[in-house]
Amino acid sequence: MIHDRGAKKWKMAMMLPEHKTMLSQLYKDQDKVEKPELDQQQLEEIEQTICEAMTFNQELTSTYYKNGKFELLVGKVHFLDEMNKTLHIQDHFGDFYRLKFHDIINVQFN
């Protein structure tokens, strides 16, 4: 009698490429969180901290929401674009990042 792999043999053979992509997307979506809504007082505190950082040329640690996750960015405020509602930040390496106002969750001095 030949002893084969049994059920293990058929597990991967029955998996279609569509199933694999759906499973990988499901695993990615499990870690996502909802964007918190900020009240008026929190928004004013963020604006005040940004203005102070621009005035005194201090570094900020910005927490922002991107693709279902919270990201951190450390750097100095380079430019504040009120028309497009974006904040331009330069990090330690000289790279520039644009953060939209509605994506910013928290801002703190270093």
Q: What domains can you pick out in the chain, each with its CATH number? A: 40-109 (2.30.30.520)
Q: Cβ distance 73 to 6 under 8 Å?
A: no
pTM above 0.75, yes or no: no
Where helices occur in the chain by DSSP H, the ranges are 7-11, 17-30, 40-56
Task: Express each pLDDT in 45-99 by its tens digit.
Answer: 999 999 999 999 999 999 999 989 999 999 999 989 999 999 999 999 999 999 9
